[in-house]
Amino acid sequence: MLELTVVDRNGAEHLIVSEDGRTLMEALRELDFGVLAICGGVRSCATCHVYVPHEWMTRLPAQHADEYALIRELAHYQDNSRLSCQIELTRTLNGLRVTIAPDE
Ligand code: FES
């Protein structure tokens, strides 16, 4: 189990507890924060877009080329953007803080 801080689209912070071994998208999708994850995690919808603090970026799994290409086309792209479906939750990510990006 690990603890995450999630900032929703209204700017409210939520401390959540999640199992490790699944993706961040799966943890967010079951909550009521508007993460639709329409494609189910195959890097084609970007409805799981989040922002990650820069200091955490190097601790995340490397970006697949498909994620790299898709995320740079988003209207709300930032240099700390990631697709949460590509982030497997491991104990090393305990304490991670993510912000859910605006709807495209
Ligand atoms: S769930 Fe579709 S890109 Fe992540």
Write out the E strands in the chain.
Answer: 2-7, 13-18, 49-51, 81-83, 97-100
Give the distance (Å) from ligand 1 centre to CA of residue 37. Answer: 5
Q: For residue range 55-99, what is the model confidence (pLDDT) as tens digits? A: 999 999 999 999 999 999 999 999 999 999 999 999 999 999 999
Q: For residue range 1-24, what is the model confidence (pLDDT) as tens digits? A: 999 999 999 999 999 999 999 999
Residue 15: strand pairing partners? 5
Please tell me the predicted confidence (pLDDT) of residue 44: 96
For ligand 1, pick from 22, 23, 24, 25 the residue to mutate: most ligand atoms within 8 Å of CB. 25
Count of residues in the chain: 104
Closest-lying ligand 1 atom to the alpha carbon of residue 70 = 3
| E strand or H helix that includes residue 11 | none
Q: Over range 21-43, report the average pLDDT.
A: 95
Give the distance (Å) from ligand 1 centre to CA of residue 48. Answer: 5
